[in-house]
Chains A and B, each alone.
Chain A
Amino acid sequence: MNIPGNLKYTNDHEWVKVEGNVATVGITEYAQGELGDVVFVDIDEGLAEISKGKSFGTIEAVKTVSDLYGPFSGKLIEINSKLSDSPELINEDPFGEGWMIKAELSNTTDLDDLIDAEAYKALIGQ
């Protein structure tokens, strides 16, 4: 199971890649495996910001639906537009082409609650 060491993780199986005060968010390889085939990512296009711990959208898979939770609070910069036509990118390349949103960090202290790759590995029992 791929768990890149340069990313931060949440207990909800999302990953966060921090670059300066902007962070990219996606779901982990483990999460996509548990969900199965993703068929739609529903993130409101009018969404201006995400809030830590609050749902910012849903991810629909054949078998189930799952909420997406803000790993931190901040202004939304971009939604991965490729996902509307190719939601399967989340299954195929969860840490790359399957990224979901980019957002500006309001408080860098929000990152303190994220866990590192080792802790995430332990969380999923790898």
Chain B
Amino acid sequence: MNNLLKLARTPPVVVSQETSVANAMRKMVRCGVGAAAVVDRGRAIGIFTERDAVARVLLEERSPWTTPVGEVMTAPLLFVGPDADLHEARSIMIIKGIRHLPVVDRDGKVLGMLSLRHLMAEEIDDLEHEVETLAAYEARDSIGG
């Protein structure tokens, strides 16, 4: 498993495009996630987020029980392949201002979901590593000064 998938949520929360908005929301709340990947016969076609739920369902007064998620999802889907670099994924999310980025293989299968929270965990690891390195460096006796 590469670095990106080690960091991402696997398996991701996935719903089919015919799923009702209410069922998709329930699944997201139960799993404690802010987005679900939407698939059509197993292939990724979009993403359904909390933003879509409030903006396109609540504000536009659609019924969550009868509206299929495919009607209110965000599409086309912005994603990265499993071999993408973490820095590349981070740049996409920060520059595009998105909170979730699915990891999708060549066949359209959703392998994982990367969120800002995962990037934050990575950032904390990096900071801790930096502090340890600096501490080790400072503790070292050096003749060079």
The answer on A and B forming one complex is: no
Q: CB within 8 Å of B: which residues of A?
A: none
**Residues in B lying within 8 Å of A, measured CB to CB:** none
